[in-house]
């Protein structure tokens, strides 16, 4: 079994912001695979299969810096190890729309990833990162909580579709082959 997590912030105010591309990808994966997400405690969760693999899709409903609590709870509930964890999130150090898969690593300053590392006790989990760019003169915290510009819309829509494809590729072919295809 796998747990696939999209990071974001709860509520309408943040729905279309850069920090919520992880939620956008989980919504796309759920739609494609007819997996219904239901609210439980402090997260949305749905169970189903992708590429003949049993998966649990997860969107923590805590704010970004507490995302790891839901991840740890769901991993414990389904007895999933970190090698079968995929976390989808935004990355301001990559150009808008760029996609990158990593097997492990540091948080890179991303508070959601910091929370996951702290909560699951390891850096050894797969990340699907979506570039949201960066704007000079704007604090990172303000930038990621901003909505995409009109010209970024098509890039992000395409990136969300490609990220959903990347998740399926990791499940079907393994992380190495998926990295070769998408990085």
Concerning whether 89 is annotated as a catalytic residue, the answer is no
Exposed, middle or buried: residue 28 (CB in 10 Å: 0-12, 13-18, 19+)? buried
Q: Is 67 helix (H, G, I), strand (E, B) or coil?
A: helix
Q: How far lies 2's CA from each of 46, 68, 81, 168, in Å?
A: 12, 16, 8, 11
51-56: which pairs have CB atoms within 8 A and are 24 or more residues apart? Answer: 51/168, 51/171, 51/172, 52/172, 53/1, 53/2, 53/171, 53/172, 54/1, 54/2, 55/1, 55/2, 55/3, 55/4, 55/171, 56/1, 56/2, 56/3, 56/4, 56/80
- Which of these, 48, 56, 49, 44, lies nearest to 10 by C-alpha position? 44
One of 19, 89, 111, 162 is an active-site residue; which one? 19
The residues annotated with a catalytic role in the active site are 19
């Amino acid at each position: 079994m796998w747990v696939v997590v999209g990071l974001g912030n709860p509520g309408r105010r943040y729905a279309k912001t850069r920090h919520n591309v992880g939620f956008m990808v989980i919504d796309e994966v759920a739609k494609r695979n007819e997996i219904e997400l239901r609210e439980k405690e402090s997260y949305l969760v749905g169970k189903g299969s992708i590429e003949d693999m049993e998966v649990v899709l997860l969107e923590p409903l805590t704010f970004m810096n507490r995302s790891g609590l839901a991840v740890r709870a769901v991993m414990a509930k389904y007895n999933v190890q970190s090698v079968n964890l995929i976390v989808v999130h935004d990355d301001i150090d990559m150009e808008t729309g760029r996609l990158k898969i990593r097997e492990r690593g540091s948080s890179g300053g991303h508070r959601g990833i910091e929370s996951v590392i702290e909560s699951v006790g390891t850096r050894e989990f797969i990340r699907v990162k979506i570039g949201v760019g960066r704007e000079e003169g704007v604090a990172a915290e303000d930038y990621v909580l901003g909505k995409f510009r009109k010209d970024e819309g098509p890039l992000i829509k395409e990136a969300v579709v490609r990220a959903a494809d990347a998740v399926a590729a990791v499940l079907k072919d393994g992380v190495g082959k998926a990295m070769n295809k998408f990085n």
